[in-house]
Structure 1
Amino acid sequence: MAQADPGSADAPDREIRLLKNPDGQWTARDLRVGVTAQGDTRSEVLDTLDAVVEGDGGRAPTDEDLEALGVDPDVARSQNNDLPDVLQ
């Protein structure tokens, strides 16, 4: 029997944290791979997260993206893969 690739969205040991934000948006984080996606609905954010894990989507946030969220880019990039304060 074939086993899913560890980098695959269908990996058997995949762990996802799904949060509904106060603004109504959804945030999904793949804890094993360490990537995060955000969207308007649960299904949208999970589809986006799958695409990012498979390498078919996503991008690193720009300084402007971080500043729009009220996050200092220098602080965000110095957290060594820990979740930024706004995602904890």
Structure 2
Amino acid sequence: MSTEEVRLIKNPDGQWTARDLSVEVTAQGETRSDALDNLDAVVAAVEDDGGEPPTDEEIRDLGVDPEVARSQDDDLPDVLQ
């Protein structure tokens, strides 16, 4: 049986920070519940390879043409290698 420990902190700006001490990841939210939900998503992404590929709309929201983004090779820029 593993032990899970989460720390919740109310920030001066009213936001909440949730930290999973065993996985060592952090998330924020407007409420405690939001912070914990966001933390669950981060933990799932780290531990279970969770998440989904971005939609075309999400890619466009970043100012990138989805077709151009998909046509790029998978090589990382030098600074990230």
* TM-score of the two chains, using structure 1 as the length reference: 0.49
Aligned counterparts of 1:24 and 1:47: Cα–Cα separation in 2: 17
Q: Which has the higher helix share?
A: 2
Aligned counterparts of 1:43 and 1:34: Cα–Cα separation in 2: 19
Among candidates 5, 10, 32, match of residue 22 of structure 2: 32
Percent identity (aligned): 68
* TM-score of the two chains, using structure 2 as the length reference: 0.54
Residue 38 of structure 1: SS of its match in structure 2?
strand
Alignment coverage as a number of residue pairs: 47
Q: What is the match of residue 18 of structure 1?
A: 8
Structure 1 stretches lacking a partner, 5+ long: 4-11, 58-88
Among candidates 43, 46, 55, match of residue 36 of structure 2: 46
Quote how far apart the aligned CAs of 1:15 are.
0.2
RMSD (Å), alpha carbons: 1.5
Which residue identity lines up with residue 21 of structure 1 in the other structure? N
Structure 1 runs of 4+ with >3 Å offset: none
Residue 40 of structure 2: SS of its match in structure 1?
helix
1:31-84 CA-to-partner distances (Å, cap 9, x unmatched) read 000000011000001000001101146xxxxxxxxxxxxxxxxxxxxxxxxxxx
Structure 2 stretches lacking a partner, 5+ long: 52-81
Aligned counterparts of 1:23 and 1:51: Cα–Cα separation in 2: 23
